[in-house]
Structure 1
């Protein structure tokens, strides 16, 4: 009997007929569910403690789907990390020479804080990978991430040279923003303990975001 979910190979011409197009949509939806579930499980169990069975249960999909779409736990873990990095890099694209420094940096910081609030598991998975030597993402760090930071640090240097902001080290500025924003995801338990509450509320993130934005912009003379 055919399985109700799409775990069969896609048609050879996926755009030629509606059923194939539907299969493509089902595949995308299933992959998104699996990646989000894997993010959740990897954040709590680490790579070693996570199992495909636990991820399947969290996603609400059969374990067979995970193996069909991603092949192995290693491949799924890498896909999760690649997705996290892609989502983190996206907000930085607004930092360009022609942009207003204050507006561009504020939007970047707010986007990073929103990611920490909405997907804290993503930050935890990434932090755990880095703390264990970045064995899976080392190449991504040395290529995609490095090239983007060099490009955006050069924009900051351009703004400084144009007198549009105070002299700051562009690369260090990004390190500071990452540390200030991701701490609310990575160390939420510590922050909650100090604040005397069990979870961080939306209002807490709003307050924290305004604080980080103001602190960074004042440090940049903006």
Structure 2
């Protein structure tokens, strides 16, 4: 009979499962890869550098992702997935002001917390999107069409001012991602060494107010 301190699987309640360990290691590797790919580009990045940045053995990277190409694809897919997730709040029954504000704040939060991911994605697009082009033409396009239809429905029912729904989303992307992709420029103009929480809070409030006014809405 197993000790009472063990579960039926023989693992103590506080001991992480293999699935949890794998998930934690994958996140650690992907986060490190974002930094290395953002700084060195795909060509300049090495699995050794990513392993060093993650604090894990190089063999772990190959075990979880196979190759540098596979890891790069995973970084891009994760970034796009995280960018699209907040869009689910844009539904026909949602309040337009609240849904748009929530989306903007979520995107700004991602720019603040994961600027390297945004830079990797931007660099991929600047090179013609050789890896993610299919995702852009399928998953991203389908999501944008669906959410633009929701916004068009809000406009048609008089719940917000007339806007080009698709280009509204483009504008939100541009306004939010610039603080990650061009943080050096923004910091230089503001006269600070780097963007801090207070800078992002100010920028977020500005982008929210600007976009909502353009939609004939208020926070």
Q: TM-score, normalised by structure 1?
A: 0.91
Alignment of 1:1-222 (within 5 A): 17-18=9-10, 22-222=17-217
Secondary structure in 2 matching 1:203: helix
In structure 2, relative to structure 1, the CA distance for the partners of 1:18 and 1:175 (3 Å cut) is: farther
Equivalent position of 1:9 in the other structure: none
RMSD: 1.2
TM-superposed deviation, 1:24: 2.1
TM-superposed deviation, 1:27: 1.3
Secondary structure in 1 matching 2:17: helix
Deviations 1:163-210 (A, max 9, x none): 000000000000000000000000000011111111011111111001
TM-superposed deviation, 1:23: 2.1
Question: Please, which runs of 5 or more residues in structure 2 have no aligned partner?
Answer: 1-7
Question: Please, which runs of 5 or more residues in structure 1 have no aligned partner?
Answer: 1-15
Q: TM-score, normalised by structure 2?
A: 0.92
Stretches (4+) displaced over 3 A:
16-19
Figure out how many residues of one structure are paired with residues of the other and give that number: 206
Distance 1:176 1:67 in 2: 38
